[in-house]
Amino acid sequence: MTKILVTGGAGFIGGNFVQYMLKKYSEYEIYNLDMLTYAGDLTKHQEIEQYKNYSFINMDIADRTSIEALFEEEEFDYVVHFAAESHVDRSIDDPAIFIRTNVLGTQVLLDAAKQINVKKFVHVSTDEVYGELEFDSDTFFDENSPIQPNSPYSASKASSDLLVRAYNETYGLPVNITRCSNNYGPYHFPEKLIPLTISRVLNDQEVPVYGNGNNIRDWLHVTDHCSAIDLIMHEAKSGEVFNIGGHNEKSNLEVVRTIIRSLGKSEDLIKFVTDRKGHDKRYAIDPTKLEQLGWKPVYDFESGIAHTVQWFLDNKDWWENILSGEYQSYFKKQYTLK
Ligand code: NAD
Ligand code: DAU
């Protein structure tokens, strides 16, 4: 059987990807490697633990000895690398762990993958490596846009992208780099804008909007991100970079208002708070190259948000359990809100 190692499969996107792959391919053995940080949890995988072709490995990607031993033993065919520290605000407070996990962790995985000659190493990156676009321009990031990260998080992701590129150029390791826009959907951790808004509005609590709420993000439902990675992993030529986005640019205020309306609550819940340091103004993706490979997203923003809001209504236990844990002290440090 073809062996696929998914790193970060207990997190938001990696978790959705593991489920997507298990449902689609019975002929693949899927290994989910994750060290279960605050952002990782396995309750999301209860329904797939029945799959005989699924296993979980509790391991730190930066633990070189364990990772190299694992690769030698299992001889994975593909690596799809999601594991990372992913939240911009946390990177502003404490950059060091972002360098360890995102940069050093990626390099450890690259060395291990090189050692066993994997067929493909897919590195899941972000549009944030390109920095920001101006509000009033009709420009988009394409794969040749300069790398100009602005936050410690995006700088750590850009560094790992460059390492992946270098391992392809220097050692001939077969790789692809993907750079996706903002995801949303099931199992999105409630520190990020959309799940934070849904969970707080459902509890009639204030929603913190940074600055004036005019910053723009390009939103993609997580299932469409998963289908893009599946396609790239199987069809793309080694060495190629792909931007992933579905032309859903929205200001933060539009996003928050859409959610409040869909839940029938009042906009009085919106609370403008101090802006994020170095807050990128606008992200927007040109996905032409990926569309030419045959990708088409299923969700537009309206249908994707409706699906996501319904998922959060149906899965209150999952996010309420997170909100009741160590998340409380993070939230108190980050915000002063009712
Ligand atoms: P997440 O924070 O929800 O999940 C990250 C996962 O990685 C968690 O399960 C965590 O336990 C695991 N992890 C962290 N450090 C680890 C380590 N040292 N060893 C092993 N596992 C570790 O993140 P996400 O939002 O699902 O993002 C996944 C990937 O996609 C990241 O690489 C991120 O940069 C990228 N990305 C995210 C978005 C987005 O909108 N969320 C968009 C584009 C790209
Ligand atoms: O663009 C892809 C990136 O999207 C990923 O690489 C990151 O891993 C992911 O976290 C996400 O980064 P953002 O910083 O864009 O996502 P976040 O949900 O944190 O914020 C979205 C926008 O909402 C951003 O402009 C900041 C704003 N915001 C965020 C929070 C948490 C608020 O106004 N209030 C908030 O409380």
ipTM exceeding 0.95, yes/no: yes
68 and 160 together in one domain: yes
Torsional sign, CA 245, 251, 257, 261? negative
Nearest in space to 274 (alpha carbons), one of 225, 213, 192, 230:
213
CA distance 241 to 137: 24
Q: Whose CA is nearest to atom 34 of ligand 2?
A: 209
Q: By residue range, what is the domain housing residue 156? A: 2-183+220-244
148 and 199 together in one domain: no
Nearest in space to 35 (alpha carbons), one of 73, 85, 110:
85
196 and 157 together in one domain: no
Please give the tally of structural domains in the chain.
2
pTM above 0.95, yes or no: yes
Note whether residue 19 is domain-resident: yes
CA distances from residue 13 to 124, 152, 330 in whole angstroms, order as listed: 10, 21, 22
Q: How far is the CA of 11 from the centre of ligand 1 (A)?
A: 6
200 and 130 together in one domain: no
What are the pLDDT digits (tens) for 190-245? 999 999 999 999 999 999 999 999 999 999 999 999 999 999 999 999 999 999 99
Residues of the chain with pLDDT under 50: none
142 and 276 together in one domain: no
- Amino acid in position 34: D
CA distances from residue 147 to 7, 128, 225 in whole angstroms, order as listed: 24, 9, 21
164 and 307 together in one domain: no
Q: Which atom of ligand 2 is nearest to the CA of 207?
A: 36
Q: How far is the CA of 192 from the centre of ligand 2 (A)?
A: 6
Note whether residue 336 is domain-resident: no
Contact 165, 177 (CB under 8 A): yes
What are the pLDDT digits (tens) for 303-314? 999 999 999 999
256 and 142 together in one domain: no
Q: Does the C-beta of 187 come closer than 6 Å to ligand 1?
A: no
